[in-house]
A = this chain, B = another copy of it.
Amino acid sequence: MFTKRRNSPGSPPATLSPHLVDGQVRKPAIQIIEYDGEHFEEREIHDMNELAAHLDNPFVTWINIDGLGDVEALKLLGEKFHLHPLALEDVLNTGQRPKIEIGPDYLFIVAQMVYQNREATICGEQISLFMGKNFLITVQEEGEYDVFEPVRGRIRGGRGTIRNLKEDYLTYALMDSIIDHFYPVLEEIGSKIEILEDELLERPSRTMVQTLHEYKRSLTQMRRFVWPLRDVVNSLLHESSGHITQSTQVYLRDCYDHTVQLMDLVETYKEITAGLMELYHSSVGLRTNEVMRVLTVITSIFIPLTFIVGIYGMNFAPATPDGKALPLNMPELYQPHGYIGLMAIMAVIAVVQLIVFRKMKWL
């Protein structure tokens, strides 16, 4: 997710290099949707020159390009719509920081969408939008998931106000869809963090830290995508060159609120993750302490006792080899109650130690 595509240092600006799949150029899928209140048309095209028929009509024309393999098509598109080569370079060099550039003829927006693929790993995909008079061009990386589908459904169905408004509302709807798709990913992380939180104190394990670390990374990355997104929406909101109509700005304000909430959520989760890491450290520290206490108690009780039984296992002889009695050598061994007495003494030692340890709250 962190990799930013780039041209080699020192190469001339606006150098366009295609994305290759297995070393080969793959044709992008190009889709055109044309609509106004009454009219609706949707078709796939295979050649940029087919576009010409769609340019000089009063409908909103949404051109969606899915795949970044065909540099020539992009160049053609750029010529037709007078897109700046540097903007096209940004389209191809994916992994860009979200940004907006407001030109006299069109707006250029780069955003990053986020989704979870089938293996539940979080993926990012760059989406570039060019919005001008009556047209909207979106270019996306090839990926498993398409955040624009619900919007397409709304246009097809003629639901909501979308069909009656112009390309600025469509831009809003797409941006809103991109932003809203961050929520499920964040909620997924949030619920997983909550599960981790419960397990963490019970039985800290290495995998948990690793998972936690990965979430932290994902959140770091999302923050990189969401913060500038807020600036993008804010710029759209205060845009004054006439690209955005007033009726759409009300909706953009709602969209802005969503990005602010998103940032809030990302920051909160980051804070919670950091707190969990600390909790984990505490938990491990305390467990080590407990293990040590058990070790110390057991060792402290049995080591002196083992020493004592060791004493009476010594072989000091009651007599020299030639039979002279040595009455001072371990006379205890020859007492009638020596064994029982010693056992009693050791029991007392052990009990006293247990009491002491209990007093010290080690047990």
Binding site for B on A (CB under 8 A): 2, 4, 6-13, 84, 86, 89-90, 96-97, 99, 101, 147, 149-151, 153-154, 159-162, 173, 176-177, 180-181, 183-184, 190, 201, 203-206, 209-210, 213, 216-217, 220-221, 224, 250-251, 253-254, 257, 260-261, 264-265, 268, 271-272, 275, 277-289, 291-296, 298-300, 302-307, 309-321, 325-326, 328-330, 332-340, 342-343, 361-362
Contacts and interface: CB of A to CB of B under 8 A. Distances in A.
A303 B285 CA distance: 25
A304 B291 CA distance: 17
A181 B302 CA distance: 59
A180 B9 contact: yes
B317 A334 contact: yes
Contact of A261 (B96, B101, B220, B307): B96
Contacts of A251: 13, 86
A4 B302 contact: no
A220 B319 CA distance: 77
13 contacts: A4-B265, A7-B180, A9-B183, A86-B250, A96-B257, A295-B295, A299-B303, A306-B307, A307-B309, A313-B314, A314-B339, A315-B315, A315-B333
Given A299-B299, A316-B342, A321-B334, 18 more contacts: A2-B265, A8-B180, A9-B177, A9-B180, A9-B184, A10-B153, A86-B254, A204-B286, A277-B282, A281-B281, A288-B288, A299-B303, A309-B311, A309-B314, A310-B310, A314-B333, A315-B330, A318-B321
A298 B299 CA distance: 8
A268 B228 CA distance: 14
Contacts of A13: 160, 176, 251, 254
Give the 9 A-B residue pairs with the shortest CB-CB distance, closest first.
A10-B150, A9-B180, A12-B160, A309-B310, A312-B314, A295-B296, A313-B313, A10-B177, A316-B339
Copies of this chain in the oligomer: 5
Contacts of A342: 314, 316
Contacts of A147: 9-10
A312 B309 CA distance: 8
A324 B363 CA distance: 46
A275 B278 CA distance: 12
Given A4-B261, A302-B304, A321-B325, A280 B282 contact: yes
Given A289-B284, A298-B304, A150 B317 contact: no
